[in-house]
Amino acid sequence: MKNLLFAATLLSAGSVCAQGYVFTVTDSVAATPVKNQAQTGTCWCFATTSFLESELLRKGKGEHDLSEMFIVRQKLQNQLDDNYLRRGKGNIGAGSLSPTYFNAFRQVGVVPEEVYGGINYDSKTHNHGELMPMLHAVAEVAIKQKKRSPQYYEVVDGILDTYLGEVPEKFSYRGKEYTPQSFAKSLELNLDDYVNLTSFTHHPYYESFILEVPDNWEHASMYNLPLDELMSTIDGALSNGYSVCWDGDVSEKGFAFKKGAAINPEINDLSRFEPADTARFSSMKTNERLDEILKFEKPYPEVAVTPEVRQKGFESFVTTDDHLMHLTGIAKDQNGTKYYVTKNSWGTERNDAKGYLNMSDSFVRAKTIYVMMHKDALPKSLKARLGIK
């Protein structure tokens, strides 16, 4: 099974439809098949689920397909509670971060996908276009009434049951009977073993802080590292068999999922280009240069991302908290530029890389909001400095 999973990752990294790029995978971590979040804002849950499924493979617990919507359901209930106590000023959007998954997991456990598919309506794929407005409407009534009646809770449960399905008290899976909590316990995942890492200059390095992004409505803390150390820690994890859950900005034109790649192209410093390209690009406007580079006919220079460049992007709201995905390997292009093999949750039909993409080193340096990994993936010296045992 692991050989098949490795082959799938290798295929995804080498099948970018941009004919000018040739990728070679150098490190790969076993992963489960790509899923499709479809018409929902639940990337946070799909990415974290994928990450934990890889953790189960790494730990020798076998391949499991865990239910995203079972966790999403509890998260929605938690958001409604939080929003009410904040007098309607809370976040009841579809998004969240991976720590939200952990909080829901601790509360209610987890179940296999075959037990709770989360589609209890007329659709082949997930679609929360009606569910979310329904919950918003009920939340607004409670705020206006300044109370949550027994009927309020019944209505919320009814909406979630109607769209996602009723929660099973017990279920059978692979010949055994479980409750959601006992199944979670059987997986032997110690959620305290996972750490969140980021890199920003507006907080001291080697300390934790509450990351200031809208989807961090539960106020999760992240360890703050120098940028080079964050990147080397990601590299070390992937090189040693640990995958990485990634949160970042995918709103830039350089994020070309259809092409199976994400790059951070240099369009201003023409001295970094080859002479022939310098002459050609010098006569072009900035947007024309970008369009030419994004044809992906060959690799061009990318932005040299410093902590200052990264911080400017964050504080000018150019780098935003858009999307969570799952890093499963490292690859290099024909020029030796490093890329991160990335498993997305947009299905397998939207690009030729079967739902994967390769994000360049420059892109990840600039656009990462935070990453999550097992604490044992950290260098011993870093664990000691952060006080992690």
> Angle at Cα 337 formed by Cα 336 and Cα 342, nearest 5°?
120
Q: Identity (one letter) of the amino acid at 20?
A: G
CA 151 to CA 160: how far, in whole Å? 14
Task: For residues 163 and 158, give the distance between their C-alpha atoms in angstroms, rounded to a whole number.
Answer: 9
Instruction: Dump strand ranges (E) for the chain.
Output: 24-28, 171-173, 176-178, 194-198, 208-210, 221-224, 244-248, 255-256, 261-262, 323-332, 338-343, 356-360, 368-374
Predicted confidence at residue 156, as pLDDT, reads 97
All domains of the chain in start order, with CATH: 1-41+190-264+302-389 (3.90.70.10), 65-186 (no CATH)
- CA angle 388/242/94 to nearest 5° reads 85
Half-sphere exposure of 112 (CA within 13 A, CB side): 17
Q: What is the C-alpha to C-alpha distance for residues 233 and 328, in angstroms, rounded to an integer? A: 14
21: its two tokens: 């790029």
Residues of the chain with pLDDT under 50: 1-17
3-class DSSP state of 93: coil
Strand partners, 324: 247
pLDDT at 169: 97
Give the model's pLDDT for residue 1.
Answer: 32
Report pLDDT for 233.
98
pLDDT of residue 9: 42
The rounded distance, in Å, linking the Cα atoms of 71 and 267 is 42
How many Å is the Cα radius of gyration of the chain?
Answer: 22
